Structure 1
């Protein structure tokens, strides 16, 4: 099926962590903008449901799903190569793999939490960025987008492991941005790597579970998806190496 038009008509965008609430919202929004969307997740059943929902919402959209272990670099590279081979190009990688572990105080931090978060929040960023780097450079509008948290730059005592992992993922993404900058030479980067910063995310199921909660400062996953799609509205040099704040800067 061919997409029915939109600002991202002709673009091929991969979404890592596509089965979660943020991933589902991104699939819907990118498909609505006309992109061919290729989702990946380790949970095959949830991924299939997310892909089907995006397809049904946008009858002319091409939305596919691949079950990928992003903790396996070879598997991640194979996914990137398959995406470019199947669709002829790759114009974006949206990194939505998440996870949270915290403690009641700094002294009670469990280092086991760090081991989990290092894999989810750092290792997957390393693998997707390395796997998609060359393909994004071959595109005339390549984007790598990481979703991060305000806590990475203002960590609290009980969030040491989480904030440190997010900060490391941001640093890795900024190094990717520098690679894009250097590859562009005097003409400027042709691809851009950027960080979308939120306080935390909220979605309808969370509101239903906690109807009296305010979720102050939280970013709705649909607003995040809008910001993701909007990253292609700006030239690469305006996006590359930037932290794009979707919550007030602390």
Structure 2
């Protein structure tokens, strides 16, 4: 048995490469995974893939628009009612927009990234925070990027969105440290920020066998790190940046 076994984990952005890898790894570790997406066909495909890869996987899915705060709260309430609790929320909703020059920045890119990267994270964390506090081992993680720490001229909108997500997550982490069930009790929930340069999938490596992808993080390695969140004490993990690429 591992620390992950028996945990109930919600995965936002489950239909992308990171989400699919996370679903497989979590299910293989004995967790019950509840996937969310906005495209029914892609969500069904992701669930079929995890069930094929992990016989007996406890996996279900729900169409959720995380730009709708009520939909996010309904999702959290549904999971807690069905499974008796929620032990994790992984925010794997991604997206990139940008250009080469600062002067060419299109603020429509900011609007897109603000909604996709920041607003979905805000709605999801506000919805799930109470349940994660109630869990004996609540965990939250978002995937950030080196761009938030070393912005480039053409990536202002993307860097700003990721930086905003990090700040929001650190506030969530502070709530986990302070809002404990009983005075003097040790916190049991933790929020962490995984920092990557970019992701690489097995298919990308297959299609470009001569490319080194320097500094990229394999989706399987990202999934292993996510699964390992339950192996670490909350006090050690909460509010930390976990770098999966050279700083």
- TM-score per shorter chain, which class? over 0.9
CA positional deviation for 1:8: 1.5
- Counterpart position of 1:143: 139
Q: Spell out, residue by residue over 1:49-108, the C-alpha distance to the aligned partner (whole angstroms, 9 max, x if none).
A: 111111122222210011111111100110110011111110000000000001110010
Q: Does 1:133 align with 2:125?
A: no
* Correspondence 1:185-196 to 2 at 5 A: 186-196=184-194
CA positional deviation for 1:186: 3.6
Q: Does 1:69 align with 2:65?
A: yes
Number of matched residues?
245
Gaps of at least 5 residues in structure 2 are none
Q: Spell out, residue by residue over 1:1-60, the C-alpha distance to the aligned partner (whole angstroms, 9 max, x if none).
A: xxxx54422110000000001000000000000000000011111111111111122222
Within 2, Cα distance between the matches of 1:136 and 1:55? 26
CA positional deviation for 1:205: 2.3
State which drifts further: 45-54 or 185-194: 185-194
Within 1, Cα distance between the matches of 2:55 and 2:212? 35
Please point out which of 6, 10, 17 is paired with 1:10: 6
Q: Spell out, residue by residue over 1:96-144, the C-alpha distance to the aligned partner (whole angstroms, 9 max, x if none).
A: 0000001110010001000000001100110110000000001000001
- What's the TM-score once normalised by structure 1's chain length? 0.95
RMSD: 1.1
Q: Spell out, residue by residue over 1:128-170, the C-alpha distance to the aligned partner (whole angstroms, 9 max, x if none).
A: 1000000000100000101110110110101100000000000
* Correspondence 1:39-58 to 2 at 5 A: 39-58=35-54
Decide whether the 8 Å contact of 1:95 with 1:147 is kept in 2: yes
Please point out which of 201, 214, 233 is paired with 1:216: 214
State which drifts further: 201-210 or 135-144: 201-210
- Counterpart position of 2:33: 37
Within 2, Cα distance between the matches of 1:102 and 1:210? 24
Gaps of at least 5 residues in structure 1 are none
- Counterpart position of 1:85: 81
CA positional deviation for 1:212: 3.0
- Report the 3-state secondary structure (helix = DSSP H, G, I; strand = E; otherwise coil) of the residue aligned with 1:18: coil
CA positional deviation for 1:248: 1.1
Please point out which of 217, 237, 240 is paired with 1:239: 237
- What's the TM-score once normalised by structure 2's chain length? 0.96
Q: Does 1:202 align with 2:200?
A: yes
- Report the 3-state secondary structure (helix = DSSP H, G, I; strand = E; otherwise coil) of the residue aligned with 1:244: strand
